[in-house]
A and B are shown apart, each in its own frame.
Chain A
Amino acid sequence: MKILVTVKRVTDYEQRVKIAADGTALITEGMNFLANPFDEIAIEEALRLAKAHGGEVVVVSVGNKDATHQIRQGLAMGGNRGILVTTDANLDPDAVARVLVKVVEEEKPDVILMGKQATDNDANQCGQLLAGYLGWPQATFASKLAGLESPEEKAQKPGVIIADGKAEVVREVDGGLETLELTLPALITTDLRLNHPRYTSLPGIMKAKKKEIKEIAADSLGVDLAPKVREISYAEPKARSAGMTVESVDELLEKLRNEAKVL
């Protein structure tokens, strides 16, 4: 089985991105960058599936050369090889999806695993777009029936069940959990409660240095990279006006009743 897993290089969610004075750009110089947290979960799931069923895990990123670090992280976790589609442009999820279509046509994976959402743009689109372009079945927001504290999780079992050319996926939706069965090849996006991603080990990091990362120039793929959704400007959210500290339950109730009038 061949599993393609995507990883996006994003700004550290613990840090605050600054906005340029004229509001037309985000300033990310000097910031920390990480693999998108949802993508680490996707990589972990890919590794568990490959262990359970045999097969290869290919880690793909679309971005500038620095995204090599995030691919290396995936390889250090246990991925077999990497592909970096290079571009200095800031692509929207739709352009990324159309670039990935080309990679999929070349690699012909059985399963594609992606994060549900990138923590920089919070778009939550790329997997759905890619599945739509490919005409593949999709299961977004994959979770599992057993919780993260369960024996299954501790035994590092995959949450996605694959058998007879089909994948059974449990999804987080409003009001409960939904189970879908997808005929492979299929695309799955991960939610936070699918697994706890492993840490990279020193031997893993050493081995990853020797693993292949193929580079492809995005410009060479014949894909129109212009964004379909243009980001025109950026602004800070309105801050909430300062609140007050109350000293007791009685004072809190008095305020809620007489000042805020919500009780």
Chain B
Amino acid sequence: MTNVLVVTELQDGAVKKATLTSLTFAREAAKRTGGNVQALVIGSGVSAAAEEMSKYVAAVHTAEHESFAAGPVAEAYAKVIAQAATAAGAAVVCMAATFHGKDVLPRVGALLNAGVASDVLGFVDDSSLTVTREMLAGNVIATVEVATDIKCFTTRPTEFEAAQALDAVGAVNALTVELGELRTRYVKFDAVVSERPALSDARVVISGGRGLKEAENFPNLVEPMADKLNAAIGASRAVVDAGWVPNDMQVGQTGKVVAPELYFAVGISGAIQHVAGMKSSKVIVAINKDPEAPIFQVADYGLVQDLFKVMPELTEKI
């Protein structure tokens, strides 16, 4: 029992980039346990995704069931992951700390009697499985050790590079899925359709806050600039709560963590809970008319001006 199992997350049948970042963690973990890396692909009709994953790992386990076509259900997926962990001889089970990973992996921990470290940033040394993670909205970095035989980790996608494919191709093995009685039914998914790059993958992110004054100023002032830069659009909690933009645009402690090359905070004060979600960005630009706003403490470039004047000019000249 020294292997590492990485749970694959799919979107429209394709492997999510976040999974490849968790795979980098998995390879590092396997160096420490002395085992190999295996992947689990769960869904309905997953042969393409399994083939894709086989380029990265020693073995791929697939778990298919018609009920998985509707969408991922934690109650069912946790059972499957626990079974696969046993089949894989896993000492470590990991998954990207996306909404899905955060939902399902702790439940797997309960089924395997395994401790779970959430939203892990990396290892502390070259030999142990001791890791770091943030607490208190990023005010504290804790060093933690999972004390159980099997150890579960959700890994923060922005902290790991996406893994590269290997020369050898791993074998694919279909697991027999035993779900037992389930009391969850997947009813539906209401997608928020967007042509823009995903927040978590974009090279440039432009986030708007309450300083934008009203909902219409997202399309009026933020979108034209985002169009020009092919940027994703983010938001502070204040404007998500106000219903100006959908909730999956929230950046922060309780929203998404992003780390683009270039992050614009427009009319955002820079509360610690917001900063927790963007402080690893390579370059941060803050546009805020209040010189005392805490966002300037994390910004590389601060422009203390009225955003209603700055945004049209910036969009035009960029």
Provide a sorted-by-A list of 14 A–B residue pairs whose CB atoms are within 8 angstroms.
A94-B109, A97-B110, A126-B106, A129-B106, A129-B110, A133-B110, A140-B103, A176-B191, A176-B248, A228-B114, A230-B147, A246-B301, A253-B318, A260-B300
Please, which residues of chain A bring their CB within 8 A of the CB of B61?
none
- B residues with CB within 8 A of A: 11, 71, 73-75, 78, 98-100, 102-111, 114-119, 130, 134-148, 182-192, 198, 204, 237, 240-243, 246-248, 253-254, 261-262, 272-273, 279, 282-285, 291, 296-304, 310, 313-314, 317-318
Q: Are A174 and B248 touching (Cβ within 8 A)?
A: yes
Per DSSP, chain A at the interface is mixed
Which residues of B have CB within 8 Å of A173?
99-100, 103, 189, 248
Residues of chain B within 8 A (CB-CB) of A227 are: 115, 147
CB pair B189–A168 under 8 Å, yes or no, is no
- Give Cα distance in the complex from A246 to B136, angstroms: 32
B73, A180: Cβ atoms closer than 8 Å = yes
- Whole-angstrom distance from the CB of A22 to the nearest CB of chain B? 13
> Is A186 among interface residues, defined by CB-CB distance under 8 A?
yes
> B142–A141 contact, CB under 8 A?
no
B303 touches A249 (CB 8 A): yes
CB–CB A179/B187 < 8 A: yes
- Closest Cβ–Cβ distance, residue B252 to chain A (whole Å): 10
Chain B neighbourhood of A147, CB < 8 A: 243
The reply to whether B139 and A252 form a contact with Cβ atoms under 8 Å apart is no
Most chain A beta carbons < 10 A, residue from B145, B198, B299, B301: B301
Which residues of chain A are within 8 angstroms of B191 by Cβ–Cβ distance? 175-176
Pair A129/B109 contact, Cβ less than 8 Å: yes
Contact between B301 and A256, CB atoms less than 8 A apart:
yes
Known contacts: A192-B237, A234-B140. The answer to whether A178 contacts B189 by CB under 8 A is yes
Q: Which of A9-17, A70-78, A200-208 contacts B (4 or more CB under 8 A)?
A: A9-17
What would 12 more interface pairs be, CB under 8 Å, given A173-B100, A231-B144, A243-B301?
A122-B135, A122-B136, A124-B102, A131-B107, A181-B185, A182-B183, A191-B247, A191-B254, A228-B109, A230-B146, A253-B314, A260-B262
The residues in A between 219 and 243 inclusive whose CB is less than 8 angstroms from any CB of B are: 226-237, 240, 243
Q: Which of A94, A148, A252 has the most CB of B within 10 A?
A: A252
Tell me if A88 is interfacial: C-beta within 8 Å of chain B: no
In the complex, A120 has a CB within 8 A of chain B: yes
B183 and A186 contacting across the interface, CB-CB below 8 Å: yes
Provide the A140-167 mask, 1 if CB < 8 A to any CB of B, else 0: 1101010111100000000000000000
Known contacts A119-B136, A253-B317; A243/B98 CB under 8 A: no
Interface residue from A16, A121, A177, A260 paired with B283 (Cβ < 8 Å): A260
Tell me the minimal C-beta distance from A20 to chain B in angstroms.
11
If the complex has contacts A246-B302, A262-B262, A263-B318, are A137 and B107 also in contact, measured as CB distance less than 8 A?
Answer: no
A238 nearest CB across to chain B (Å): 9
Partner of A122, one of B134, B185, B186: B134
Bound-complex Cα distance A18 to B56 (A): 42
Question: With the chains together, A252 CA to B313 CA distance in Å?
Answer: 11
Chain B residues whose C-beta falls within 8 Å of the C-beta of A235 in the assembled complex: 140-141, 143
